[in-house]
Structure 1
Amino acid sequence: MAEASMEIIGQSEAISSLSAMLPKIARSDAPAFLTGSTGTGKEHFARMLHRMSDRCDRPFVAINCAAIPDTLFESELFGFEKGSFTGAHYARKGKAVLADGGTLFLDEIGELSPYSQSKLLRVLEEKEVYPIGADRPVHVDLRLIAATNRSVEDNIRTGQFRADLYYRINVARVVIPDLADRPDDIPLFIQHFIDRFNARYRTHVTMPDAALLDILKSYDWPGNIREIRNFVEAVFIDPPDGAITRQHIPFAFEKLHQLYVISGEDERQRILDVLEQTNWNKVEAAKALHWSRMTLYRKLTKYNVAQSHPDDDD
């Protein structure tokens, strides 16, 4: 099997656990289900699973379910025969057939309509597809990897996602953590993208100075890895010859400017104010601060703030 463990960036406990689990999942042929926020790298992990598997020398075929209209999903997945409908001037193989022997990756599977979900379920159960206009099925041998940034469990309760499909795909579950929940990995990603853009542009940009790096680690990065990449790429529009400092923060990242001028004492008081407003409900406080709960807990520890209401009994 192909080695891909070195492609994982991060030293946090969450990423270390994920790194240890990926080869085990790759050895299995069971469907894998990747969940995580936008920008956490779900397709990257899907490709790693493929490269570490026994199917690594076969195709990896990806479908972005959010980008395909419901009316086209069937022809995209199954393909069609020449003359099967108006405009079908040639036959075309579907993505499921192209992935035969390899891996089919369905990104944002939570965006599929119940109708398209039923078509996909048939492929998984029968291991065959009927191209539009064909009079016989085509057998396919593929491993499915699906990904979503939605809560599929919530969609099942509202009838937006089929429970039977969920039970089919939710076998090897991979939860990819947000960057806000692993701040110590943030400098590693910044260095990774600095190295990449230095090589591309032949520049000599180095890591942010200590003051800015502390701010970057405190920022919640709602766009996750994709947002870090965009931040570093924006710095390279007018790159410094050396360390990145406050003056090099791109204008588009106004929130980072705001964080830079907020002192630690200001931030501590802001946290206390929000906790009072929410009656020390940390779930609600995190939402009001636009942080994850892990970020809030980390800040409480950083500023030595009690984890419960001061008036509560021991």
Structure 2
Amino acid sequence: MLRDIFNKKRKYASIPSQEGKQEVPEGVMQKCPRCNKIYYRKELERNLNVCPHCDHHHQQNAYERIESLFEKDSFEEWDKYMVSTNPLGFPEYEAKLEKDRKKTGLNEAVVTGKGKVGNYETAVAVMDARFRMGSMGSVVGEKIANAIEQARKEKIPFIIFTASGGARMQEGVLSLMQMTKTSVAIQRLHADGGLMISVMTHPTTGGVSASFASLGDFNFAEPGALIGFAGRRIIEQTIREKLPEDFQTAEFLLKHGQLDGVIHRHELKSKLATILSIHQPGGEIS
């Protein structure tokens, strides 16, 4: 009996103490929402935020995308310190903006500027869904319109990467006015013979999808991106029909002629550089 007691003690003593258990620091590992595989966050970043197991395209923030697209040290940011005010006196709006600034390191939901894709100088606007869900307020519209106008003046192409939940409700009709302002800027660019390429990423919805996101000379999307105006449930309730499972995906839009291509993130830089080379003076398809 004494032997049994001592064996039990040894058995329990061999179990590691919970106090000495090593915890994995937050942010080191990440789980893929599609395949449920878990991997190191650094591994994902090296793969341009594309799941190495199932090819799911995770979101990239604005600066990650700029770093992956532009040649090193070639990017010059525009309107970095332009910030939103609270024109309608919406409760707690300013506090929410400040919270997002601290969380993301951005002053607004879009980063604009110019740099080189391959050997070709181009203007760019990159939306970031971490800031107010990438919603389109007055400053977002102003920065995008300014970037388009600067591209027109410098006679360089303009590329936009969209990621947005739509118009920013805290700015009401002032937000909706950005649809017109950006669309007019694009028309001026087109009238002067300028090139615009739109790349829709997950998600591109609401007033953004209904305005500048869809007005490129080339309209592309990343695999699996959600693209649409109204939500799926609202449409189904309105038309009283069940929509296809892949409705409002990039692949569905391509199948129905609303996109020029769905491009994998690993191939995006080279394909953009090819298009830019063709549209240079005297450019040819190689």
Shorter-chain TM-score range: under 0.3
Relative to its length, the structure with more strand (as a share) is 2
Alignment TM-score, normalising by the size of structure 1: 0.25
Alignment TM-score, normalising by the size of structure 2: 0.27
Relative to its length, the structure with more helix (as a share) is 1
Q: Which has the higher contact order (CA 8 A, sep 6+)?
A: 1
